[in-house]
Chain A
């Protein structure tokens, strides 16, 4: 369906993007590694919980305190959440990472695209975290922390074994390319 055309990561190597593409598209990077498809569940649960909490609060405000504006807030949140849910699978598929010779590439987003490159030598530490839902699914988030305030690359939804092996690989790569701060 539409997916393959819209999601640039689905089969991008088949047709090299023309120079006139308005999208951000890195050429000649090789195969992006994907996160686990099960990560969709984590995102969906998160969105649903969020929507339930906000909509529930808004409903209470509306019904008990007769604040009409709360109803509109609730409706907007609900609509945004539903749209989010529809796009969730594609968004998860857009998350990718790539270990190049000297740096780690990371990408995510369809509508709001983001590419980050972090040299291995800048690694300060690697963090692996597991949320409750992710743990139930056997997933883990890996965070590559640098000295910069914002440059942390966070790869969500890796299978636990993958996360650990990726961590070891990254630490090893960082050791061999260690640079001062």
Chain B
């Protein structure tokens, strides 16, 4: 079915890099409707097969069946011609609808916005401002990936504000991502002007906009197509500036599997298993087993999906931000421009302590849409890593936070505490000893610090946490005190950030310290926001007017 649009596509562009950012309307990959409606189609085919299964059995095994089959009925009534006509009509309608929806689904990229419009009956139009871009995700789900297509998603702040370009040719999506990030960075490349005359159909009106195809050319031989697919499959990160993104972290397979196995879920599973054994030994009937067994099988799937999702993890610094890649079969790569990270948490669950593993989660304003599993990977900057890995990732996430003092702060925040290095300067302002009444185990690790424009919170002893909040991104600060804390001359504090897996709160802090913290954070937030220019991160001089409103 997708043959027909492919045949219509034009030869590839001479200068594909910047063709799409000329402000004209462009189309998506011709196979888009098929890929988007893929699941629906599979369901229809499944339905038909289920209806015809007796006939199929009959065909292959040759046993007599006893009617009730729609095809039999049609045949007996002599309506075969009509039935074929109806089927052909339905197919035609589907084809036309697919074609029209592909024709009407267009997008354009200008210097300020990415604009997508789609829909046959209900037209929808969606724009994302480039200076408000929170991240650019390039996803290749398995089936579109086989077709050489990819989904480009521009995340903006808010629950449902993302702009999706699904699907684009694989190579094209890479280039477009680069161009969008360049435009967003405020770095308008001269290449665009240079390439514009070379492109053949730039001034084409909307209805003749060139088809966007990542397929090298329609007339290329099948072997070319296959080998191109194969190369893309092997190297999912086809970045034009190839040398640059070089992952700073490598996760060995054993560590990855270990980290997934040594999780709270496993503990839960073990407890459930023990409970099950006890209940069977105690002589309860088999229904418990029947009830629990599907859950156990499901948990295997959970482990499997966790591992395949984190396989081939890579994180690298590019001029346009941190790039995080994931996935074995379906790959996804997320680019976070500088200053889009609102809070960072470095944590170590107790089961990981023996191995010295850590993980890093972040809060970002834009959440990638999709299933919850993708949301989880979207907020993880490091699934599992050593101390050295954490340091490298933090350097990417917080550029300029890498002097010796900062490194000591981070290390102290992860490993240190008031008790352990009593003699050594700890840098953190710690909770007083009387906090032991409220936090009997973790009081000595509870503390905070501010360095430059980053606030650090250290807490937790079962799961050691270090939270870093760039003050320029902080939304507010709160200190509070209840009756019990008042008796102990304590208070609690929280830094408000956008929602996400990280909550930057400090449960015990000395009263006077709390007031100091309040003052520091509130003035720091204002000061660092004024100095912040990351909405157009490539401009060297701070813009004279704020946010080009």
Write the residues of chain A forming the contact surface with B, with a CB cutoff of 8 angstroms: 19, 21-27, 102-103, 109, 111-119, 121-122, 146-151, 153, 177-181
Contact = CB atoms under 8 A, between A and B. Distances in A.
Contact of A147 (B365, B491, B532): B365
B297 interface: no
26 contacts: A24-B511, A102-B526, A103-B522, A109-B480, A114-B481, A115-B479, A115-B518, A117-B518, A118-B475, A118-B476, A119-B525, A119-B526, A122-B525, A147-B475, A148-B498, A149-B499, A151-B496, A177-B530, A178-B547, A178-B549, A179-B472, A179-B530, A179-B547, A180-B532, A181-B365, A181-B498
Contacts of A180: 131-132, 339, 532, 534-535, 547
Interface stretch (B243-251, B326-334, B482-490): B482-490
A151 B518 contact: no
Contacts of A115: 478-480, 518
Contacts of B498: 147-149, 181
A113 B365 CA distance: 29
B310 interface: no
B443 to A, nearest CB: 18
A73 B308 CA distance: 52
A13 to B, nearest CB: 16
A150 B479 CA distance: 13
* Across the A-B interface, the 7 shortest Cβ-Cβ residue pairs: A151-B496, A148-B475, A151-B476, A149-B499, A117-B522, A180-B535, A118-B476
Interface in B128-172: 131-132, 134, 157
Given A112-B483, A151-B478, 6 more contacts: A26-B515, A26-B518, A109-B480, A116-B476, A117-B525, A151-B496
A34 B310 CA distance: 53
Nearest to B529: A179
A80 B515 CA distance: 31
Interface in B100-147: 131-132, 134
Contacts of B494: 150
Contact of B532 (A19, A27, A103, A179): A179
Given A103-B522, A180-B532, A116 B547 contact: no
A179 B532 CA distance: 8
Contacts of A116: 476-478
Which DSSP category, helix, strand, loop or mixed, fits chain A's interface? loop
A158 B546 CA distance: 31
Contacts of B529: 119, 121-122, 177, 179
Contacts, number: 116
Interface in B479-519: 479-483, 486-487, 489, 491, 494, 496-499, 511-512, 514-515, 518
B545 to A, nearest CB: 9
Contacts of A121: 526, 529
A177 B549 CA distance: 12
B322 interface: no
Contacts of A109: 480
A181 B268 CA distance: 39
B215 interface: no
B532 A23 contact: no
A54 B523 CA distance: 45
B521 interface: yes
B482 A112 contact: yes
Contacts of A22: 486-487, 489, 511
A11 B514 CA distance: 22
A102 to B, nearest CB: 4
Contact of B526 (A19, A26, A103, A111): A103
Contacts of A103: 522, 525-526
B506 to A, nearest CB: 14
B196 to A, nearest CB: 30
Most buried by A among B477, B487, B499, B534: B477
Given A24-B515, A27-B515, A181 B157 contact: yes
B160 to A, nearest CB: 15
B339 A117 contact: no
Contact of A150 (B483, B496, B518, B534): B496
Contact of A24 (B481, B496, B499): B481
Contacts of B496: 118, 146, 148-151
Contacts of A119: 476, 522, 525-526, 529
B478 A114 contact: yes
Contacts of A24: 479-481, 491, 511, 514-515
Nearest to A23: B486
Contacts of B497: 148
A173 B365 CA distance: 23
Given A24-B481, A103-B526, A119-B522, A146 B511 contact: no
Nearest to B487: A22
Nearest to A28: B519
Contacts of B522: 103, 117, 119
Nearest to A26: B515
Nearest to B533: A180
B476 A113 contact: no
B348 to A, nearest CB: 25
B58 to A, nearest CB: 60
Given A113-B480, A148-B475, A21 B131 contact: no
Contacts of B134: 181
A151 B475 contact: yes
A132 to B, nearest CB: 30
Contact of A178 (B511, B514, B546): B546
B479 A146 contact: no
Interface string B382-395: 00000000000000
A148 B530 CA distance: 19
Contacts of B491: 24
Nearest to A117: B522
A109 B485 CA distance: 14
B431 to A, nearest CB: 15
A30 B546 CA distance: 30
B477 A117 contact: yes
Nearest to B498: A147
Contacts of B472: 179
Contacts of B479: 24, 114-115
B342 to A, nearest CB: 8
B547 A147 contact: no
Most buried by A among B476, B514, B522, B525: B476
Interface string B4-28: 0000000000000000000000000
A23 B486 CA distance: 6
Nearest to B480: A114
